[in-house]
Every structure is written in structure tokens, then in C-alpha cells.
Amino acid sequence: MLVAGASLSLLAPVAAQASDAVYLEEMSSYSRSNPKSSRLDSKTFINEVSEDIAILKSRVDGLEVKQNEFEAGGFSDTTTLDGKAVFALMATDHTKPNSTGTARDALSSAYQYTMNLNSSFTGDDNLYVRLRTGNGTGNFTTKTFGTYLSMGTGYSDALKVDKIWYTFPVGENNTVWVGPKIENYYMHGTTPSIYKPVTKQFTLGGNGDAYGASTDSGFGWAYKADNGFAISSNVVSKQNLTTNGLFTDSSKQSWATQAGYTTDRWSVSTIVNQKYNGWTDGYYESAGHTPSTGVGNFTAIGLRGWWRPIETGTAMPSVSLGYDTTDHDGAPAASNNSTAWFAGLSWQDMFQADDRIGVAFGQPTTNEDETVDPFAYEAYYEFKANDSVTITPTVFGGSDRSGTAGDDVFGAVLQTTFKF
């Protein structure tokens, strides 16, 4: 019996692969089906152990088959999924009601839920799909006063394909994008700003005429040299869900060409964005900046630059700057030009690791014949409750923000972001 016990102990690793429950079940089965015999020889013992090994092996093989079946029904090993959920509680205070006399002030809550899918077929290419839903409407998605939040989504709780495109390399330094739902700024070769905004107006160093974009059909190309220089060009046509025709005079179009240079600590870039057939932007603009007459085409030039210190956690912030100038074709001389400027400051790791303080301000796109100078701002503190949860209280607002004298706004928002 001592020899039998020692031999059975060698079976433990095999049985553990199936599970401890299987191992214990077989041991119990062995003891029940093999009572003590008055005579024990080597042949009897060998036959009994061999039968138990065969049973355990069949159990392990069965588990392996079930595991393979489960893996076959899961994600491809070249597809990854990540996402986030954002909860927001926002209050706004306007000095004037809207044109119908209805107050704009509100305390409201909203959410956004996003899933990002990335799939590769060669190891160097990528098929990107963004699934998104949310219920942020009203002040959450109002462009005129700059209250449109980056998390704002007017999808009425419907889950939609929000972005989809395919990108692949050509040689060592070239990248090509093509997709039915893509925006210009995803195809630029140089990052124009490193400021992380809460209100969408401060995206890309001022989300106005030069960098304003729309999710529609498009394609683009970028060349990135090893020394930090980059040049890119891309086109987007607003023809989705219409019969206007892709890249025709019936559809609104944006053709953006950017050149820039980037190092580890600073970057400079310029962009020329030609927009046709009545294309309009709205996130970083006053309501009356677009001339009432003209052919509906304009050319915007944007200058961007950013710098960051060697170390975080100091009084020295990272700085992002932007300036836009726009010429409208066929508009009267007094109103054919508009300008905008932006400044964003960020401090990281000030009170705890991975926290961020952000302050941004500037003049939204304003026509030269407007009688007011709109101003917009935001300030926030972002801190991590843990590795997956971030909390961001923010204040924001603006004076003469809509382009009307005395039409001011002040707001506050508390956001909680869950990343997975």
C-alpha cells in the first residue's frame, strides 16, 4: 500500500490540469471500486493504475476540446478592444435668454459610452472602428456658447458606428488612410496641440476654421521623416447619407495640407485648409463670423506650436498656442477676413501622480467687421481615483461669446471617466 500511495501521488500533476474536482472525484472512485484485497500482486496494481490514468487522460482531453471551442468563438488575436464611460453633471448660467425668450440655464446630467476596436491583418495595418452612444444634448452639444463638451453626444441612447477607417503603411515613412467615416485631423502628420480640453472648442489649439472637421468620407496621406519633419494632405467630403455625390460641387468639402516639425519637447506646424460649397464650422466661432454674402468657399491658415518642460510636477507648465486667419471668397472687403487665437497651459503631477491642471483661453473665430471681441475660457483639475477612474471638475465660460454684446455664459461640470 505504501508503494501504491507513492505511485498515485505521481498522478497529481496530470489530474490538476483537468481540475482539483476531477482529481478528487477519481480518487474517490478508485477507493470505492477497489476495496482492500487479501492478496495484492504487481499485475493487479498495474492494471488498476493504468485504468485510472486512462480515465484522467480522457477527462483532460475533453477539457482541452471545450477550451478550443471557446477560443474559436472569441475575438481574433489580432483584434483589441478598449473603451470608456463618462458621466457628467453640468450647470450653466447665461446672461440673456435665446432669441425666443426661453432661458438657456440648466442643471443636467448625461453620459457617453465608447468602444474602440482595432484589427490588424498584416501586423502593420489597422482597421479602426469606434462604437459610441450617449444622451448629451442641449447645453452639452451647443456650439454657439462654447458649452459643447468633448463627451457630448446627441445619439439619444442609440449605439452607432461613430468612426470607421482603414490605415496602412507605404514604405517606411508613409501612411495612408481611407474610410467612410473619418475626420481630417486624424490624418495629420504633426500633433498641433498637447493641451487636453474639456470643452470641445479648445481641441487642436482652437477648433475653428483651420482645424474644424466633420465625420464623413475621406482619405489622406502623411509622410513622417526620421528627423521629426512631417507633411500630410487629406480630403473629407460631406456626402454621407445624401445623394450629393462624393467630391462634387454638390457636397461640402475640406482639403487640409499640413507641414510641421516635432522634437521630444516642442513642435511647430502650419496648415492650409480649403473648404468649399458652404462648409461651416462652429465649435470655436462666434455666431456672426461667416459673411452673409459670398460663394461659400474659404481658405483658412492655422499656425500651431507647443512646448513642454523636461520635468513634470514643477511650476513651469506645458504651453500650446494657436492662431488662425481665414479669407472668404467673394465676400465684401469689410467682412472677408476672420481671425482666432488660443492659449492652453497644463501642469502635470502637481499634487499626486498622473493628475493634471488645465487652463485655456482665447478669442473664437471673429469677423473683422464685428463690433465685439468674444472671449472664451476653461479651467479644470483632473485626478485619478485609481488606475481606471478619473474625476475632473471644471469651470468654463465666455464674454460676448455668441458675438453679441453682453451675451455671456458661465458653467461648471463634474465628469467621471471609467476606462477599461
Q: What is the pLDDT of residue 154?
A: 86
Torsion sign, CA atoms 153, 157, 158, 161: positive
Q: DSSP E strands: which ranges in 239-388? A: 252-262, 266-276, 298-307, 318-328, 337-348, 356-367, 375-384
Q: What is the pLDDT of residue 67?
A: 58
Q: What is the pLDDT of residue 241?
A: 63
Domains parsed from the chain with CATH numbers: 2-72 (no CATH), 79-419 (2.40.160.10)
65 versus 6: the higher-pLDDT residue is: 65
Tell me the HSE value of 3 on the side-chain side, using a 13 A CA sphere.
6
Q: DSSP E strands: which ranges in 48-201? A: 79-94, 106-119, 126-134, 160-170, 174-182
**Of the candidates 318, 303, 219, 194, the residue with the CA atom closest to the CA atom of residue 259:** 303
377-403: average pLDDT: 96
DSSP string, 21-85: HHHHHHHHHHHHHS---S---HHHHHHHHHHHHHHHHHHHHHHHHHHHHHHHTS--TTEEEEEEE
DSSP string, 352-397: STT-EEEEEEEEEEEETT-SS--EEEEEEEEEESSSSEEEEEEEEE
Contact 395, 376 (CB under 8 A): no
What are the pLDDT digits (tens) for 244-296?
777 777 789 999 999 999 999 999 999 999 999 989 898 999 877 777 677 78
Q: What is the pLDDT of residue 38?
A: 45
Confidence of residue 15 (pLDDT cuts 50, 70, 90): very low
Q: What is the pLDDT of residue 345?
A: 98
Q: What is the pLDDT of residue 161?
A: 97
What are the pLDDT digits (tens) for 297-340?
999 999 999 999 999 999 999 999 999 999 999 888 888 899 99
Confidence of residue 393 (pLDDT cuts 50, 70, 90): very high
DSSP string, 199-242: BGGGGGGS-STTT---SEEEEEEEEE-TTSEEEEEEEEEE-TTS
Confidence of residue 98 (pLDDT cuts 50, 70, 90): confident
Rg (C-alpha) for the chain, rounded Å, is 31
What are the pLDDT digits (tens) for 340-367?
999 999 999 999 999 999 999 999 999 9
Contact 366, 338 (CB under 8 A): yes
Contact 373, 341 (CB under 8 A): no
Tell me the HSE value of 251 on the side-chain side, using a 13 A CA sphere.
21
Confidence of residue 32 (pLDDT cuts 50, 70, 90): very low
Mean pLDDT of the chain: 86
Q: What is the pLDDT of residue 60?
A: 64
Query: Lowest mean pLDDT: which of 93-102, 161-170, 336-345, 368-377?
Result: 93-102
Q: Is the pLDDT of residue 75 over 80?
A: no
Q: What is the CB neighbour count within 10 angstroms for residue 16?
A: 12
Q: What is the pLDDT of residue 368?
A: 85
